[in-house]
Chain A
Amino acid sequence: MNAGAILTSLVDGLLIGVVYGIAAMGLNLIWGVMRVINLAHGALISLGMFGVYLLFSGLGLNPYLALVLVALMGLLMGILIYAIAITRVINAPYLSTLLATFSINMIVIGLGTAAFTTTPRDTGFSLGNVEVGPLTLQGTRLIAALVTLIVTAILYTFLYRTRTGKYIRAVSNNRSAAELMGIPSSRILALSFGIGTMLAAIAGGLIATFFSFTILSGDVYQQKSFIIGVLGGLGNPLGALVGGLILGVLEGVLPLAMPNTWVPVIEFVLFILILLVKPSGLLGGKK
């Protein structure tokens, strides 16, 4: 094993890690603000994939322009889902919201399977490769990492520099107190769910630029999002990014030393260890 291979694996891991990060961020935000485990997250990621695929292959739109539209649709869809399915059970025990989001998941997957079947789709989009020394970097993955970083920066500015962002953090900290201060909590919750869904859609859209996918593909990223959430700290969006990077690097580098099928074993051992040793996650829980 040479240094070149290790470097390549490391960079590949980081590039996929940021995308894991943005996928987990949406899940994390929703959990942090409203204590809802969104089991529809994977299905919404898949919808993001199909959104970009259809706009690109059907209408010939540039995938990154398509991504903006997909993000907007994700936001609206999230608010719609909240208004229809979540708002009624938001104060019920966790199991109710879990089942509500699971139902959304089944509906989306059922409709998606009927409309698109489970034959793999591929955008066939390519930006070519960039060669840097021993590294061959895929253009689409570089852009995906860049987009993720920009989105994360915008999310942070929004949460910490705007009034609405402040409301979200307030509702997240103590909903009753926020309501007493006159913050329209149900509108803020709807918006938060919308933003979480938007992040899922963006993650899906970015993944679609370099991987083939089906309506079921989002599930993998949902599972990873749970590990990442625990790793980085549930409810902490920046923690999600860090957790994603850690997971990406592990997945990139570990296979050099062992059969790749061992990687999930290591990942889940790590998951249990974090739960045992630092249950609030590496960067601490929600802030």
Chain B
Amino acid sequence: MKRSLLNVLALLVVLSLALAACGSPAPTEAPAAEAPAAAEPEAPAAEEAPAAAEKTAVVGFTASLTGKLNVESTRQNNGFNLWMEQVNAAGGIKLADGTMVKFASKFYDDESNKDRVQELYTKLVTEDNADFLISPYSSGLADASAVIAEQYGKIMVTTGAASDSTYQKGYTLVYQAYTPASAYLTGSADLLASLDANAKKIAIIHENDKFSTDVASALEAYALEKGYEIVLNEGYDSGTTDFAPIINKIPADVDAVMGGGHFADGQQFAKSLFDKGVKTKFISLLVAPPEPTFAEIGDAALGIVGPSQWEPLAAFTPDYGPTGAEFIEAYKAAYGEEPSYHAAGGYAAGLILQKGIETAGSLDAEAVKAALDGVDMMTFFGKIKFDTSAENHGLQIGHSMVYIQWQKDAGGALIKQVVWPAEGKTAESVYPIR
């Protein structure tokens, strides 16, 4: 009995070793544009001596080339690569000692798999000598990668990752580009306050999953602090289609309905609110409204507000990096499609790194960290500023969600307009909506 157990264990060990061996030697590698040529940055190029010295900084990350996160991750990757190409084409970043730094990326396919992420980031740091790290797409994968960055003392900019919890683990070198989940709907409360000082009653109806519940709790706390009254806070199961029983619980004198969850339930919820004739002045829902297909529900979509990390429309006036229009044009030229917020987030991660290095005038992690701690800039992606407290170090506190609202254009067709924050808006809010 014991012997056979040992045999099984031994077999398992051998198998897992074999699997590991199969996995590591042939990683999917990016054809690094100019990696080999600049691999020995210290060696002075004798022929062109008088020109400024050049260095190549390696930025390491994993991308989900396969698996369920493939689409979003690829876009994020495209955004980052666009930034890198532009910086390199402009000659790189000048350090304090006059050295010009160009960038090369090194990345592997993480298969959308958390387990692969830690192994690959370790490899990026120890074998590929990455100078800086960018996170993979999604909160889960980014969280797994952040611990490696911290362990090896590398600066990491996370993008495509909204979860708050990563920044509450005492990390000091991890910086978030996205607005954290806790702030997804708080801007709606601010927007409502700017529209109507008398609106006080909010009903929060949200999906029961962790993300939506966290957003709803943060919204409730924020709204109460701002003097709102929460007249209903109710969760619903993922996959709910019949919202009538929940909508019947909303008091008749409600001013605003906020919440939602993901696309399918959010769209159905918006539709049911309309069909049930709920007289509310303001509706703000998670995730669903920014999607173009949200308009399928017709008039039910009219007036619905929703947060997005970024919208091509958003009219921010950047004090750093390209304008929104320049980014969109360059992205379209490079990839032949309109950039999504995932792509914008990838580019923004590059911008954050660039700002840190420029301000520090060095590639040294400590110096860049000090520079990033002090960043307070407006980019095409929105404002960027990090929490520097010990409890939430690296949490994004400058960036606000962009709130879109479905409105009608002159011809009566449904279109999205950015209505908040004020610095990025493209139209006045429609209020009250019903």
Residues of A within 8 A of B249 (CB): 5, 255-256
**Are A260 and B245 in contact, with the CB atoms below 8 A?**
yes
**Are A124 and B236 in contact, with the CB atoms below 8 A?**
no
A211 and B241 in contact, given A122-B267, A255-B248 (Cβ under 8 angstroms): yes
Residues of A within 8 A of B275 (CB): 126, 129, 138, 210
CA gap between A155 and B91 in the complex, in Å:
78
Stretch at the interface among A6-14, A28-36, A79-87: A6-14
Residues of A within 8 A of B299 (CB): 126
Q: Mark B363-391, 1 if CB is under 8 A from A, else 0.
A: 00000000000000000000000000000
Which of chain B's residues 399-427 have a Cβ closer than 8 Å to chain A?
none
**Are B237 and A261 in contact, with the CB atoms below 8 A?**
yes
**Are A211 and B268 in contact, with the CB atoms below 8 A?**
yes
Let me know if A48 is at the binding interface, CB within 8 A.
no
Let me know if A110 is at the binding interface, CB within 8 A.
no
Let me know if A212 is at the binding interface, CB within 8 A.
yes
Report the number of A-B residue pairs with Cβ-Cβ less than 8 Å: 80
B82 to chain A, nearest CB (A): 27
Stretch at the interface among B93-101, B145-153, B179-187, B290-298: B290-298
Q: Mark B228-255, 1 if CB is under 8 A from A, else 0.
A: 0000001111010110111011000000
A124 and B296 in contact, given A129-B275, A138-B275 (Cβ under 8 angstroms): yes
Let me know if B226 is at the binding interface, CB within 8 A.
no
**Are B296 and A12 in contact, with the CB atoms below 8 A?**
no
**Are A211 and B267 in contact, with the CB atoms below 8 A?**
no
Residues of B within 8 A of A217 (CB): 241
Q: Which residue of chain B lies nearest to A4 when distances are taken between CB atoms in the complex?
A: B252
Q: Which residue of chain B lies nearest to A124 when distances are taken between CB atoms in the complex?
A: B298
Residues of A within 8 A of B236 (CB): 260-261
CA gap between A255 and B243 in the complex, in Å:
11
Let me know if B171 is at the binding interface, CB within 8 A.
no
CA gap between A252 and B246 in the complex, in Å:
8
**Are A120 and B267 in contact, with the CB atoms below 8 A?**
yes
Let me know if A174 is at the binding interface, CB within 8 A.
no
Let me know if B277 is at the binding interface, CB within 8 A.
yes
Contacts from A to B (Cβ < 8 Å):
5, 8-9, 12-13, 16, 119-122, 124, 126, 129, 131, 136, 138, 210-214, 217, 220, 251-256, 259-261, 263-264
Q: Can you report 23 residue pairs joining A to B where beta carbons are below 8 Å apart?
A: A5-B249, A9-B248, A12-B244, A13-B245, A16-B242, A120-B293, A122-B267, A122-B271, A126-B275, A129-B277, A136-B277, A138-B275, A211-B241, A211-B242, A211-B268, A212-B267, A217-B241, A220-B239, A220-B241, A252-B245, A253-B245, A260-B234, A261-B235
Closest 6 CB pairs of A and B: A255-B245, A136-B277, A12-B244, A120-B264, A122-B296, A124-B298
Contacts from B to A (Cβ < 8 Å):
208, 234-237, 239, 241-242, 244-246, 248-249, 263-264, 267-268, 271, 275-277, 293, 296-299
